Amino acid sequence: MEFYRKLVNMIKIQVLGTGCPKCKKMAEVAEDAALEMGVEYELEKVTDLNQIMSFGVMMTPALVVDGEVKVAGKVPSKSQMIEYIKQSAI
């Protein structure tokens, strides 16, 4: 999947969190933003605490785009989410 993702310039979006309402909302906003932008993306929900901590994140929900933590501890607006995705798409 990693090779294919790079080949088609697919963006990997990860939502880090335990499945709380804010985590679910972040996943929803991320998917809405990616769909609105028309980008190829893979959305992964990371719930394992060890994996979450490996990103250096201490507050959830957190957003990781292509391996880079963009925000933690709050759910960004859709316009902010679009900006985070654009930064990685460049």
Quick check: pTM over 0.85?
Answer: yes
Does the pLDDT value for residue 90 go beyond 60?
A: yes
Instruction: List 43's β-bridge partners, or say none.
Output: 13
**Domain range list for the chain:** 2-77
The residue among 23, 84, 12 whose CA lies nearest residue 48 is 23
Would you please indicate which residues are annotated as catalytic (active-site) residues? 20, 23
pLDDT one-digit tens code per residue, 31-85: 999 999 999 999 999 999 999 999 999 999 999 999 999 999 999 999 999 999 9
Provide the 10 A C-beta neighbour count for residue 25: 14
Domain 2-77 has CATH 3.30.499.10: no
If you average pLDDT over residues 5-31, what whole number do you get?
Answer: 87
What pLDDT, on a 0 to 100 scale, did the predictor assign at position 9? 77
- Up-side HSE of residue 38: CA atoms within 13 Å toward CB? 0
| Structural element, H or E, at residue 65 | strand 62-65
If you average pLDDT over residues 5-33, what whole number do you get?
Answer: 88
